[in-house]
Structures are given as structure tokens and as C-alpha cells.
Amino acid sequence: MRLPRPMRDAMLAHAVAGLPLEACGIVVGRGEEPLRFVATANAAASPTRYEIAPRDLLRITLEVEGSGEAIWAIFHSHPTSAAYPSATDIRLAFYPEAIYLIASLVDPARPDLRGFRIIEGQVIEVALEA
């Protein structure tokens, strides 16, 4: 999957700004193409969990509805663990069409950003290219 460098940088900046809590956001896209990153609030306000703030999710859902755009990826950060979906992430993955992007900030100087599809409890890593 293509993930332009500026979008990746925006995500990582949002993740760092949110420390020590997890940060989250949504990438809106069309077809295979990511269009824009929308930073959202983490309603869980937790260092180990995220919940995209319902008002943000609703706003973005209404924005893309009928526009040909879609929720292309769901991003969140792992401040102290690896860039891999947690058991909770897998259980609460309700968007089989979307890519789940996870940034690990274990080494803040060198964040690790990875992408996954999570379909019916199965985790499949997808390669990200700039």
C-alpha cells in the first residue's frame, strides 16, 4: 500500500504530541489511494487503549458518505509496545475494509509504523511504501 511520506510524518507527529497516551486518527481515501490524515481525539485517554472520539468518527463518516471516499485506514500509536495489533485491537477491529496503521514509539527517535488488515480475528500485515 502506498502511504505518502508527509501523511506518515503527520501521523507520527500526532502520536508524539499525544504521549504518554495513545493517539489515533483516520486516513480518508478513495479506492486504493489515501487522500488525507485526520487527527482525532482518543476518547479512552489511555496509554494502552484508544477509542476514536465518537464525535470525530461521526463527523468523518458523514463527510465521506456519498462522496466516493471512505475510511481508508485507522491509525493509532503504541507508546510502549510493538507496532502489532493487541488482543483488544483485534477484538475491536470493526472495519475489515480498512488498513490498521500502528506506530510504535518504543524508540521515539525511530518510530516503527506498520499496516495490517484485521479480518475476523485474522491479522495480515500489509507492506507500506512511501
Among 89, 98, 99, 104, binds Zn ion (CB under 5 A): 89
> What is d(CA 115, CA 124) in angstroms, rounded to the nearest whole number?
9
Under rule CB under 5 A, which residues in 46-85 are in contact with Zn ion? none
Which residue's C-beta sits nearest to Zn ion? 89
Distance CA 71, CA 40 (A): 13
Smallest gap from residue 89 Cβ to Zn ion (A): 4
**Polymer length in residues for the chain:** 130
Complex with Zn ion: residue 15 or 64, whichever CB lies closer: 15
Q: Is 60 helix (H, G, I), strand (E, B) or coil?
A: helix
- Exactly one of 59, 86, 112, 128 binds Zn ion (CB under 5 A); that residue is 86
116 binds Zn ion (CB under 5 A): no
Would you call 37 exposed, middle or buried from its count of C-beta atoms within 10 A (0-12, 13-18, 19+)? buried
- Residue 64: CB minimum distance to Zn ion, A: 23
What is the binding site for Zn ion (CB under 5 A)? 86, 89
